[in-house]
Amino acid sequence: MASPQDNTPSGATPKPQTHEETPDQVKLRINGGERLNIRKNNPAETGFDPATSKWVNYFKVLTGSMTKEGQFHYREHLYRTNEERDLRRCEEQRDWLFRYSPVVRYMRDQIRLLGGELDADNVVCRRCPSRLTADGRILGQAGGFSPQHGILVCANSIRDRKHLEDTLAHEMVHAYDHLRWQVDFVGEKDLRHAACTEIRASMLSGECRWTREAFGRGNWTVTQQFQNCVRSRAIMSVRARARCRDTEHATKVVNQVWDSCFSDTRPFDEIYK
């Protein structure tokens, strides 16, 4: 599953809305039928106008004359503008990590022992658009794994080479779990499979180490910080599965498998980071 950046909405799947859509919204169907209002940019309301120069829009951000929604659309516009640069940087960093990163090289070797192969053909960098819902939630990701296609890296979401290393390690744990145990990765039959591989991926990738939480996410908690991070990120990822009803359901499933999956560090002897 994707290294998540935000939750999908909670609650039971509502009936399709029958009212007419407003011009600044589109409907996105997710989670087996749930419909989200996805905000499109309205320059008169947000202050962001793609027809003006980058510096004019940047000045609006600095002076507070662009709304939070406008800043979201401005950022997505820059991602589109800088797509070629971001893809080139992502591919260069990916190739470097496959040559020199201890964790990436080790996971690649372990995947090879199971008959799999990860390389530039199936670890691909792409621009991944985020979406802004009508209630202000941002739906996005840093990467993802598909048993049929390999690993997707969202080049526009990668901050630096260390972030890419964590993202690759997360998705490579999913690939390892798929090859070794044929887990029900998307949770179509058993969400506990999805919960277990998400716990392991967050635990073993390094994305929940204290320095990432403190300096990257502003979480300076010391006691149980690592466990809390792994649990919360696993819940977010399980919540995104189509068969998961809501956050309460995701939490229950994660708790059911927590003890056995959090103690399973394979293919490492212990938690690497």
Are β-strands 123-126 and 150-154 bridged in parallel, bridged antiparallel, or unpaired?
parallel
Q: Is 170 annotated as a binding residue?
A: yes
pTM to 2 decimal places: 0.78
CB 1 within 8 A of CB 194: yes
Residue 138 has pLDDT above 80, yes or no: no
Catalytic residues: 171
Q: How far apart are CA 43 and CA 50, in angstroms?
A: 8
- DSSP for 240-253 reads TSTT--SHHHHHHH
Which letter does DSSP use for residue 11 in this model?
S
Mean pLDDT of 200-205: 96
Tens digits of residue pLDDT in 88-119: 999 999 999 999 999 999 999 999 999 999 99
| Alpha-helical regions (H) of 114-209 | 161-181, 191-205
Residue 223 has pLDDT above 70, yes or no: no
Q: Is 19 annotated as a binding residue?
A: no
The token duo for 164 is 């890419």
Better pLDDT: 5 or 239: 239
